[in-house]
Amino acid sequence: MAIQAPKGTTDLLPRESRIWDHFKRTAFGVFSRYGYEPIETPIFEQTELFVRGIGEATDVVSKEMFSTITGENLKTLLGGGHVKSNSRFSLRPEGTASVVRAVAQHNLVTPGGVPAKLMYAGPMFRAENVQKGRQRQFNQVGIECLGSVDPAIDAEAIIMLMRFYHKIGLKPETLRLLINSMGCEKCRPAYRDAVAHFLLDHESELCEECVSRAHTNPLRAFDCKKENCREVMKNAPLIIDALCEECKDHYAAVKGYLDEAGIAYIEDPTLVRGLDYYTRTVFEVQVVEGMGAQNAIGGGGRYDKLMEEVGGNPTPGLGFALGFERCILALEAQGFQFDEARVLECYVACVDPAVKPQAFMLVQRLRDAGFATDMDHQGKSLKAQFKVAGKQHVPYVFVLGPDELAAGSVTCRNMDAHDEVTLNLEKLTKALEQAALTDEPTALGDVITQSS
Ligand code: AMP
């Protein structure tokens, strides 16, 4: 059998690739209005970064990382030898730890300096159980803001995220924004212990995994999908009742800004999110209907201790990531149609193979003048060439034949208007040469008018 792409990965074919490009450009367009600048970090990092940053007990780190070592080290390891921890690498399961590492490494936040506002887009890797909306390689767009504890930054990021969904075409009434506060290093440990005790008190009613979570990551029990566990967790202590005064004030201020901005949200005191690094504000955007369990299309929160975890100077931070594939599924479920892209602006059709050299040169001139152009290279009939151009939604077809050449002309068919004009070939050549010399893009319509 022919080799297939690995399970849980998808090829972004030209159509999907164009949509991904549009998605990134739309997101970066929105985020840059809030002062965010692009950053690209490596696709793999030292495994240690994710272990320390995301947390060893999280599902992502304990079960889902694709980790690797180089060939030489693999031999050493298989031979029973020891491999240094900095020789173990993992494909990034998310973007935050890498960006925070880069900010620390390059000193992008200086004491008293302005916050670093960074945005990224690219593939992430998690060895998950594959299902619709849950892949092993998926694309995320995200932002990170480092260097401010101001609750306005949290609210601003949430507003920006909701603006993006609107801009990409997701109807606001189809989404719900959940928010919560996870507390800080002062109030969370006691709460964590309270949840751990609660889990152990209800050991007999919970699944094995939730019982083991009591010792490793008790808050994750709120995310268990099993009906029994969900019932039990309804009576678990809530973080909202355990927040310290500072966390309460911070949370109230975030909500105040969201209210001012007219952003609707649902307070969900059980929203804990899967990664260990969150402190205070957390949020998640879900699609209300039709996406099953994979209904989260984006989320994030504050992580005021992460920088220290990865060895940098204490620096507060906040970020979010949104999933490309799930957003597209949500858009498609709403009946959203992406415009069929017009890749080619013109097509040069040959009436007879004898004029191919001249047609070939016209194609080059059109391209040099800035117009995406193509022609037939399979010896197709004129009718078939028009069919190809029509299928590709090409707006203009230039037709060149022996008669046209003899008359020094070329026919230009406007495929949308279904009409034709005869152009003077010499004038067209001159107009195209002129267009090739200017930096400003020229409209094809102007070139055609000048050549008729
Ligand atoms: P997270 O990094 O887990 O907070 O995820 C942020 C967003 O990325 C989610 O809301 C999803 O839209 C998307 N996402 C996370 N994991 C996957 C996955 N395995 N497959 C597809 N999308 C994902």
Domain containing 27 — which CATH number? 3.30.930.10
Indicate if ligand 1 lies below 6 Å from the C-beta of 326.
yes
- End residue of a domain, out of 333, 360, 381: 333
Indicate if ligand 1 lies below 6 Å from the C-beta of 138.
yes
Q: Are 445 and 323 in the same domain? A: no
Indicate if ligand 1 lies below 6 Å from the C-beta of 134.
yes
User: Alpha-carbon distance 365 to 357, whole Å?
Assistant: 13
Centroid of ligand 1 to alpha carbon of 26 (angstroms)? 19
pLDDT of residue 175: 96
The CATH code of the domain that includes 407 is 3.40.50.800
pLDDT of residue 263: 97
Q: In the predicted model, is pLDDT for residue 341 greater than 80? A: no
Comparing CA positions, the residue from 235, 230, 223 lying closest to residue 198 is 235
Least confident piece of the model among 126-130, 291-295, 330-334: 291-295
- Mean local confidence (pLDDT), 224-252: 94
Q: Check: CB of residue 300 under 8 Å from CB of residue 154.
A: no
Task: Quote the Cα angle for 22-323-10, to 5°.
Answer: 80
Q: In the predicted model, is pLDDT for residue 332 greater than 80? A: yes
pLDDT of residue 422: 96
User: Alpha-carbon distance 51 to 318, whole Å?
Assistant: 19
Comparing CA positions, the residue from 134, 432, 91, 76 lying closest to residue 295 is 134
- Per the listing, tokens 């990382």 go with 65
Q: Check: CB of residue 382 under 8 Å from CB of residue 359.
A: no
- Mean local confidence (pLDDT), 189-218: 92
Least confident piece of the model among 24-33, 267-276, 278-287, 406-415: 267-276
User: Alpha-carbon distance 255 to 262, whole Å?
Assistant: 10
Centroid of ligand 1 to alpha carbon of 322 (angstroms)? 7
Q: What is the 3-state secondary structure (H, E, C) of 266-331?
A: EECCCCCCCCCCCEEEEEEEEECCCCCCCCEEEEEEECCCHHHHCCCCCCCEEEEEEEHHHHHHHH
Q: In the predicted model, is pLDDT for residue 216 greater than 80? A: yes
Centroid of ligand 1 to alpha carbon of 119 (angstroms)? 16
Residues 6 or more apart in contact with residue 349 via CB below 8 angstroms? 359, 375, 376, 382, 385, 386, 389, 397, 398, 399, 400
Centroid of ligand 1 to alpha carbon of 140 (angstroms)? 7
- End residue of a domain, out of 310, 333, 356: 333
Q: In the predicted model, is pLDDT for residue 276 greater than 80? A: no
Judge whether 195 lies within some domain.
no
User: Alpha-carbon distance 325 to 337, whole Å?
Assistant: 15
Centroid of ligand 1 to alpha carbon of 285 (angstroms)? 11
Comparing CA positions, the residue from 340, 347, 342 lying closest to residue 367 is 347
Q: Are 427 and 282 in the same domain? A: no
**What's the pLDDT tens digit per position in 281-314?**
999 999 998 888 889 999 999 999 999 998 999 9
Instruction: Report how many domains make up the chain.
Output: 2
Q: Are 384 and 304 in the same domain? A: no
Of residues 113 and 43, which shows the higher confidence score? 43
The DSSP output letter for 221 is: G
Least confident piece of the model among 43-47, 247-251, 330-334: 330-334
Domain extent, residue 145, equals: 14-173+271-333
Q: In the predicted model, is pLDDT for residue 342 greater than 80? A: no
Q: What is the mean pLDDT of the chain?
A: 94
Indicate if ligand 1 lies below 6 Å from the C-beta of 296.
yes
pLDDT of residue 439: 85
Q: In the predicted model, is pLDDT for residue 225 greater than 90? A: no
Which atom of ligand 1 is the closest one to the Cα of 327? 12
At 365, is the pLDDT very low, low, confident or very high (cuts 50, 70, 90)? very high
Q: Are 324 and 361 in the same domain? A: no
Q: Looking at ligand 1, which residue's alpha carbon is closest to its atom 2?
A: 94
Q: In the predicted model, is pLDDT for residue 385 greater than 90? A: yes
Q: Are 359 and 434 in the same domain? A: yes
Q: Are 111 and 54 in the same domain? A: yes
Q: In the predicted model, is pLDDT for residue 85 greater than 90? A: no
Judge whether 215 lies within some domain.
no
Residues 6 or more apart in contact with residue 48 via CB below 8 angstroms? 85, 86, 88
Which atom of ligand 1 is the closest one to the Cα of 296? 10
Q: In the predicted model, is pLDDT for residue 410 greater than 80? A: yes
- Mean local confidence (pLDDT), 71-77: 87
Indicate if ligand 1 lies below 6 Å from the C-beta of 323.
yes
Centroid of ligand 1 to alpha carbon of 376 (angstroms)? 43
Q: In the predicted model, is pLDDT for residue 140 greater than 90? A: yes
Q: In the predicted model, is pLDDT for residue 83 greater than 90? A: no
Which atom of ligand 1 is the closest one to the Cα of 273? 4
pLDDT of residue 57: 82
Centroid of ligand 1 to alpha carbon of 300 (angstroms)? 10
Can you tell me whether residue 410 is helix, strand or coil?
strand
Cβ-count burial of 393 within 10 angstroms (0-12 exposed, 13-18 middle, 19+ buried)?
A: middle
At 91, is the pLDDT very low, low, confident or very high (cuts 50, 70, 90)? very high
Q: Are 22 and 126 in the same domain? A: yes
Q: Are 168 and 288 in the same domain? A: yes
